Structure 1
Amino acid sequence: MTAAHKIISDDAALEEGELVTLARRCWEADGGLPLAVEPWFVRSRWSRPGTKTFTVRGPAPGAAAEPGSSPGDATAGGPSSGDAAVSTASSGDAAGRGSSLENAAMGAFSGDAAAGALPAAGDAGGSVLLAAIAVRPGPRGSVVTGLVDPAVRGSGVGSRLLDAALAVAAESEGATAGFVTVETEGLSADAEKLFESRGLRQFFAEEVMRIDLAAAPAPEPTWPAGTTVAEWNGETAERFFQVYATAFRERPGFPDPSAAEWIEETAEDDDFQPERSLLATLPEIGDAGFVSVGDNWIQQVGVVPAARRTGLGGALIREALRRMASAGLHEGWLCVNVDNPAVSLYRRIGFKGVGHRARYRPIDS
């Protein structure tokens, strides 16, 4: 890397507001997880102690070019190669600035699979955050997440930032030294090409789906004959878990938590809604299906094998959506693994895909 393209060391912490603004611009372009633009979400991904960040700054996207500059100086309204400043920072002293939620991170890498030069370092005074990438310690090695403003994509910024982050991850120490996961909450086709060009393979992907509850009446559930429904409470929580375990144990990668672990994780979510989280019982089967809900999110839906293809799963979702609408909510959300056949059910109910989130690891890991 030439002196004109050097990375500047900078101990200044990233401002939460500028990260939120950048995250929103990426989400508006790429779709994906809407929670990724929430301040608490941003804190949990970018403020963990030991996090290393790389940033690119320059004039606000869409700003007028300086007189005498050539059209080639900017990319889609972004900065010229002499305008943007590239810096690194470590947040090793960021303790207490937000909890870390592992194995999930916001991100929208630029669509520039072909490596390009980083914009030259310059005076960052009065500039805005155009791109950032972070490497944070995780339980299974380093975790990489990044954001590149849509206005500067195609300039090589995302490629160089990803390379810098992967180099930091490769130098990590400890039992998980060298292990890395690259995460994105708004996967684009160009980002996918970029990851593949760096020898990364996708090992997890979900489609993010939304239903409009304001445009039409909430869909009414049609229950299998004899169905009884109970809400989540201290007496039914264990029964919810048993249905969860029976419904999901056959799926690859099932985490197999204890009842106490699963119940605590479910109930302690700040957005958990016990009155919208439902357990269905069938006469010939017993406890047969459940849905857990957080605010306006369908968090989990499970039906035991003996009760599948009875319409129970769809009825549980429709009833949860009906209760959301009754509470004044205008939309419902869920995430579904891309290889889960339930995606067709969600589409029939009225959900529409609004993007993907994914995780990548090196092919040889």
Structure 2
Amino acid sequence: MKQVTLSHVGKTYGGVDAVHDFSLTVKQGELVALLGPSGCGKTTTLRMIAGFVLPTAGEIRIGQHNVTEMPPYRRSTGMVFQNYALFPHMTVSQNVGFGLEMRNVARADIKARVLEMLRLVHLDHLLDRYPRQLSGGQQQRVALARALAITPDVLLLDEPLSNLDAKLRHAVRIEIRQLQRKLGLTTIFVTHDQEEALAVADRLVVMNKGRIEQVGTPRELYDTPRTAFIADFMGRANFLRGYVSAPGTFLTQSGQRFYFSGSAPSSTSILSVRPDCIDLVPGDAAPKHPNVLSGIVRAITFLGPVNEVMIGSDTGQTISVHSRTASHDIASLKEGEPVRISWPVKASQILDASDWPDNEGRYKNRTED
């Protein structure tokens, strides 16, 4: 396992930047997730690390070696593709041993290594089956065993769980994380699924339009997003537009006053608050928090452990609130009823309004302003 360093890496197709000025260091033994919407450049970045795509700018290093123009087979990277890319005419054991055969490893050593890898992913009882005889989850684990068999310095995963159903995806991502920690593998994981990224990564790199928007731990990106794009992409968020009228005080365009902690842009801003940070205020009870807003219940949607309550607020905007299904407050709530909500000061995030989406819902890129 080795550190991966990308310095000002870029890739241009026909004059369009697929990836622009991308710089990142993935530490030895770290699992980093590249996260973003379709077309943001995350898979192109991964393929440049693997060597399947040559960058048009910048440098890529694995350990102390500059691998920018090195062919894939010399980079000591193991890659699991989105569609697994298993050879249909080969058995499980032949698929796992393929990379070792290409490296001219002795037959006896290949057999021992294949068995070791299949035991690692709990598939040693299926070594004579063909891919068509396996479930999606089993195929995914065969692809992972094949990538690990060559003892790579870096493991690259390109949307490896996207073809699995929700329950299996949850189980397999836990397996991948446990395996990565056990082996201490430097790993780069591409996904568009926020929950998946939050669950497995040491750090997240959120990309937008080929650029890095923010890098940090899952908790940092969820709790303290730098931009409206991050706040909206990393889970659900409510946005209120206005301005900072005094230190710690935000005034909406419709005149409501809310409070926040920490520093904030002094210009026109956006207040962001997560639906799970908002409390319903029952009846005439006193609000728990200083930020209070009134409105009308527009819809209540059952989501299993939580209910999503959509509230037409006095600001003129619809506010989403997530309330525990078992809560007494949600049980007595009816559509069309007046309601109050409140949230703590620390839950208010103030963001620069330059990141507010336009009328088509497209976020501006701050670096282009």
Bigger strand fraction: 2
Same fold (TM over 0.5): no
The bucket for the TM-score relative to the shorter chain is under 0.3
Q: TM-score, normalised by structure 2?
A: 0.25
Larger Rg: 2
TM-score normalised by length of structure 1: 0.25
**Per chain length, whose mean CA-contact separation is higher, i.e. which structure has more relative contact order (CA < 8 Å, sep 6+)?**
1
